Each structure stands twice: as C-alpha cells, then as structure tokens.
Structure 1
Amino acid sequence: MISEKAMLVGNRIKMMRLAKGLRQKHVADMLTISQSNMSNIESGRSGVNIEHLFTLQEIFACSMNDFFVDIEKSADKSSNKGYTVEDLFKIVAKLKG
C-alpha cells in the first residue's frame, strides 16, 4: 500500500503535467513507462522512483523541491489554511483552458 505522502506527490505530478498542458501518454513515453503505470503514479496506486523524478524535473523545468513542497501541511488536513500548491496548479490549468 502506498503512503498518503506518496499519493500527494503523485497528485502533484499530475497537476504539474496539466499545468504544462502535457498528455499523460506523452510524459509516460518520456519516462519510458506505460501510460497505465503513469496513471498509477498520478493516482497514488504506485510510487514514483527517484530516476523518474529527475526526468520529471527536467520535463517540468522545476526544482526537486516542487514535488514535495507543502507535503507535510497537505497531509495534515486540520492545519490546511488557504491555497495548497495543488489548488494553484488546478487554477492555472483551468485558466490555460
């Protein structure tokens, strides 16, 4: 079973992909994994390995910290005040249409 934090990282990856306007299949091909494996990572059914995180860092032109920022705060729903990074990615993705 994957931890809640791994699920949050998977969701972060999905939000970053959507914010960049990339299709799941395209990112999966760049990682040399199947689209179903990519779906499992994004949904939290599978964890992401460090090599894939390095590749995703290049694809999304982000820092490694971007995959983990606010993970502790997001995991503790009782202390969640204001917008999370996931909320902001969703807003940007909607604005991009």
Structure 2
Amino acid sequence: MSELKKLLGRRVQELRKTRKIKQEELAEMINIAPRNMSNIETGRCFPSPENIEKIANVLDIKIKDLFDFEHQQDDEDLLDGIISRIKPLKRDRLQDFYKIIKSLTD
C-alpha cells in the first residue's frame, strides 16, 4: 500500500468526520459504492481524478486541501519541526515556550 494512498484516505476520513457525514453518505453523494469509499479511506485504492474532484466539492474544500498531510506527521517529525522552529529563538522566548509547554503537560 503506497504511503500517498494511506495519507489521502486518512485525510478524506478526517474531513468527512468533521462534517458529520457518514462514509455511506459520502459514497452516495459522489456516486460510488460504499465499499469503494471504504477502500479509499483505508488506503487500499486511490480515487480517480473525477472522484477526487467530487470529494472536494462535497466536502466544500479545494482539491489541494485534500493533499494537505502536514498535520499527519509522525511524532519524530513533529518534534524535529518544533525544535527547528524554536532553536534559533532568544533565551527569553525559549523560556516563554517552556512555560507554555509545561502548562500543557502538567
């Protein structure tokens, strides 16, 4: 299973759930079988360009937003991203971030 199929599937599922649409309902709205929608969301198959456009339209987003996987990074990538952003900060800003992180984790 390709990583892109899995990422896209998770993204479609996430967006669908935030809009409180059932998987079967989304399948019906874009005129595909519920099993095919399940296969898309689990990363077993990649939707056709036509279905990508339909999914984006139903979810009321731009097609490019279906491929926004930045929030799906694993923990190590997230930590690396956080560190790279705060590393160049001055000491007083670092202390501010430390206080924020500490308050969130206590």
Could you tell me which runs of 5 or more consecutive residues in structure 2 were left unpaired when the two chains were aligned.
82-106
Larger radius of gyration between Structure 1 and Structure 2: 2
Higher relative contact order (CA 8 A, sep 6+): 1
Counterpart for residue 10 of structure 2? 11
- For 1:29 and 1:61, locate their aligned partners in 2 and report how far apart those are by CA, in whole Å: 16
* Contact 1:10–1:48 (CA under 8 A) maintained in structure 2: no
Over the matched positions of the two proteins, sequence identity in percent amounts to 29
Find the residue that maps to 1:22 and give its secondary structure: coil
Give CA deviations for 1:8-34 in whole Å, capped at 9, x if unaligned.
001100001000000111110112111
* Contact 2:27–2:34 (CA under 8 A) maintained in structure 1: yes
Could you tell me which runs of 5 or more consecutive residues in structure 1 were left unpaired when the two chains were aligned.
83-97
Total equivalences in the alignment: 80
- C-alpha distance 75-5 of structure 1, shift in aligned 2 (>3 A): farther
Counterpart for residue 64 of structure 1? 63
Taking only aligned residues, the RMSD between alpha carbons, in angstroms, comes to 2.1
Runs of 4+ in 1 over 4 A off after TM superposition: 73-77
- C-alpha distance 6-77 of structure 1, shift in aligned 2 (>3 A): farther
Q: Any residues of structure 2 matched to 1:25-64 within 5 Å, and which?
A: 25-64=24-63
Counterpart for residue 95 of structure 1? none
